[in-house]
Structure 1
Amino acid sequence: MAVSGEAFCRTQLPRVSRTFALNIPLLPEPLDLAVTVAYLLCRIADTLEDEAPGALQQGLLDELAVLVELGPDWEARARAFARGAELALREEAPVAEAELLAGTPTVLETLASLPSWVHPHVARCVRTMTGGMKYIQRRYGGGGRVEGLPDLQATFMYCYYVAGVVGEMLTGLFIASSPRVAARQDALAPRALAFGRALQLTNILKDVREDLDRGSCWLPRDRMAAHGLEPGTLALPGHRARAVALMGELVRVARGELEVALEYALALPAGEPGLRLFCLYPLFFAVETLNTLEGNPAVFDPEPVKMGRESVLRVMLLTQERVASDEALRALYAQCSRMSSPEPVEVMT
């Protein structure tokens, strides 16, 4: 029996993202499917950047930007794109990512089935993301890899292209789907970039060793140099104290972005709890992650540093209980941000 496009997208989501598999189902219909499809298309671009070294040279990012416009002959072009992407993938690429690339025509088919108000926001996001990836690679890359960005401004630019633009897209989708959210546009729009940027910067810090092992680094070179480091020496055991100090400095930058992201989430109406929780889950996951990274030399070890299942469930419960109260959420954020490591937080009864 053939699998529908919607079924494929909903099944594929948890295979390529643990976090978004938790919060996207909280969104009302059809917004949940729209954001699922948008996330998968962004993940396809991300996979091309990470797992297909020849994607830039072969024009695959350009083609993806064209495909999301759903122009003439997009079905045939999507099939050709999937074949080309398969050939460009590294052999060690994760199976789920390879399956998602192969399913690009199905993801686009699902996008085409969604209401017309979805399309321009998703298309603009993917166009900006793929164009930004190309720009970063051409300006700062070598051999398909970026080994450090010159300064924090460049790191923020990269964060915009791969995540800040997602914050803009989500804001557009939220406003288009709900008159109550549309009334908050002036409060949401200025904070949308920080929401996406904060989550991406946290991921960059969390994945620093994994990226280094793949030959890439997204940290600012000037801040590394201030600590006597460069990408090639960042993970050396003899430089661990310097690396931990650098991490602490960048964690403080990420916390500043998260404070703005919290105000973004609170600008969403309390009468839209699904939208609030969609934002609050990853925001508080990021707070917990930064707590784990700060002062922790293990972040530079080969074994990745991750949140435990108990911490994930605790964050979900605590935010669910407080979702309608700005005061309670601010208090929870302040308490969690003060922790140097995950600790129990009182559960409301």
Structure 2
Amino acid sequence: MPLPVAMKPSQNPAPSAREPGLVSERPPLEPAEAASRASGEGRSEHHPEVLQVLPTATPGEASDVDRASGTIRESISPKTEIGRAKRTALRPTSALGMNEGALGSRSPDRTRPGCPRKTGRYAGLSSPPGRMLRSVMRSRGVLQLLERVSRSFYLTIRVLPKPVRLPIGLAYLLARSTDSVADTSSLPVARRREILSLMGERIASVHTAPLDLAEVGSAQQVVAERELLESFEALITLLEHLEPGPRDLIRTVLATIISGQRLDLARFGGAGPGRVVALQTDAELDDYTFRVAGCVGQFWTNLCRTTLFPHDWVDFKALILRSIRFGKGLQLVNILRDLPADLRQGRCYLPLQALAAHGLVPGDLLDPASMERFRPLYTPYLDLAEKYLSDGWLYTTVLPKRLVRLRLACAWPALIGIRTLSLLRVGNVLDPNHRIKVSRAEVRSILARSTLLYPLRGSWQRLFDRVRQQPAA
């Protein structure tokens, strides 16, 4: 999901010996949870089959099923969700991008259920913004800051519906600020972990004293990253002025992301250009992709569900499950594409266990001539990423068709991701002098085709397969 954040209700075969499975087993249920499931709690009175329509999970995917179950166990019935939307703070909110309307209203537009009525520039904020907040929303606003930090994700944010543009953009900027701290190699690992903990506590409002990030900000070589860290407290102020529902969702996803960043530093603490450290197992890889991307799918889906289509009947449990896989697929594409750069920083995200099974060690991947030996290991990971992106495309196509902007925001990363995988299948990814990526011309073509074909339902839904089958050369 980036933050964009897949959906194929077919049964998946068990992973083969050469396919990198997600080897973690389903953890035992807590007594209360087991009793809840046994009693059928959470099933819709009118749709008792709702918990039975998920695709059968392989052992490697059981953890994703558990994550999805834990997210929406009490949000299965549309009737229940509508009631909860009226009782809690998870009301439709509208987004704010500079001088672009309001954050939202508590009174939905009667002509379109779930759509907020614009009632003022700062409607939907829990209190009027102060000077620091206004500075974020104007010339140093969220969208402008996003454009400077990440031009690619900025495209996604710009196309999103206004009601979710601000919370998703804000969540991304907060996550990007913590990522900048994690990547500041000039600071000791222990100090970076400490700062990440302080940032997590500040985001969660554990303490209210402003956090001084001058130490890490001055170490940034990229001006946009330094500006982002300098704006951290302004972003926190904006977060605190959000409605409780979006604010809590942002805090939850940031807690998961920061835990992944701190764990990443612990795992690769001794890594460097002269020493390559690898993850140990596929379970560690699965855990990493969930913490930094799969959880974003959960956040994205929960926010969009409560904000944009709270009254639409969808299989929400399947939606959450596939959003997790969508996010993990996008992160896996990044890992597989950025392999040579990560290796030269001392990090190998492909597990040591899988490398050893093919007679390889992490250091072998520094040599581009090792590609032929490496490809039998590399291809199954490409297949796994493709399966997750296929889930992502199905996730996109089952969203309400009237939400054109939301579907395009999901479609673009899925289409660019599947095109990237096609290029990775034929190129030498170990060559650091030839970075494999989709050209700007192809990106523009994908954006144009997906927009122009949208009114043609069949052609649009087949677009993913057409991009996947497009020749790499």
Give the TM-score range, shorter chain: 0.7 to 0.9
1:141 matched to 2:268: yes
Partner of 2:297: 167
Partner of 1:38: 171
1:130 maps to which of 230, 250, 258: 258
**Per the alignment, in what secondary structure is the counterpart of residue 142 of structure 1?**
coil
Identity %: 27
Q: Distance in 2 between matches of 1:298 and 1:159?
A: 20
CA contact under 8 A between 1:192 and 1:264: conserved in structure 2?
Answer: yes
- CA distance change for structure 1 residues 55 and 112 in 2, over 3 Å: closer, same or farther? farther
Unmatched segments (≥5 aa) in structure 1: 343-349
- Cα deviation for residue 176 of structure 1 reads 2.0
Amino acid at match of 1:147: V
Per-residue deviation, residues 13-39 of structure 1 (Å, max 9, x unmatched): 122223211111111223111111111
1:186 maps to which of 300, 305, 317: 317
- CA distance change for structure 1 residues 182 and 125 in 2, over 3 Å: closer, same or farther? farther
Q: Structure 1 length as normaliser, TM-score?
A: 0.87
47-56 or 192-201, which moves further after superposition?
A: 47-56
Partner of 1:333: 464
CA contact under 8 A between 1:271 and 1:324: conserved in structure 2?
Answer: no
Partner of 1:121: 249
Unmatched segments (≥5 aa) in structure 2: 1-130
**Per the alignment, in what secondary structure is the counterpart of residue 270 of structure 1?**
coil
Partner of 1:18: 151
- Cα deviation for residue 326 of structure 1 reads 5.4
CA contact under 8 A between 1:16 and 1:97: conserved in structure 2?
Answer: yes
- CA distance change for structure 1 residues 72 and 45 in 2, over 3 Å: closer, same or farther? closer
CA contact under 8 A between 2:270 and 2:277: conserved in structure 1?
Answer: no
CA contact under 8 A between 1:244 and 1:297: conserved in structure 2?
Answer: no
**Per the alignment, in what secondary structure is the counterpart of residue 300 of structure 1?**
coil
Partner of 1:290: 421
Amino acid at match of 2:268: G
- CA distance change for structure 1 residues 27 and 158 in 2, over 3 Å: closer, same or farther? same
Q: Distance in 2 between matches of 1:321 and 1:55?
A: 48
**Per the alignment, in what secondary structure is the counterpart of residue 297 of structure 1?**
coil
Q: Distance in 2 between matches of 1:203 and 1:215?
A: 16
Structure with larger RCO (C-alpha < 8 A, sep 6+): 2
- CA distance change for structure 1 residues 191 and 105 in 2, over 3 Å: closer, same or farther? same
Partner of 2:199: 64
- CA distance change for structure 1 residues 127 and 311 in 2, over 3 Å: closer, same or farther? same
1:177 matched to 2:307: yes
CA contact under 8 A between 1:277 and 1:320: conserved in structure 2?
Answer: yes
CA contact under 8 A between 1:149 and 1:220: conserved in structure 2?
Answer: yes
1:312 maps to which of 443, 463, 467: 443
Amino acid at match of 2:285: T
Larger Rg: 2
**Per the alignment, in what secondary structure is the counterpart of residue 421 of structure 2?**
helix
- Cα deviation for residue 238 of structure 1 reads 3.0
Partner of 1:155: 285
2:356 maps to which of 225, 242, 259: 225
Q: Distance in 1 between matches of 2:176 and 2:135?
A: 20
Report the number of matched residues.
334
Greater fraction of residues in helix: 1
Per-residue deviation, residues 97-119 of structure 1 (Å, max 9, x unmatched): 22212221122222233333210
CA contact under 8 A between 1:208 and 1:300: conserved in structure 2?
Answer: no
- CA distance change for structure 1 residues 255 and 36 in 2, over 3 Å: closer, same or farther? same
2:181 maps to which of 45, 48, 55: 48
Partner of 1:239: 370
1:102 matched to 2:230: yes
Per-residue deviation, residues 107-150 of structure 1 (Å, max 9, x unmatched): 22222333332101100001111112223443x33326682212
CA contact under 8 A between 2:149 and 2:225: conserved in structure 1?
Answer: yes
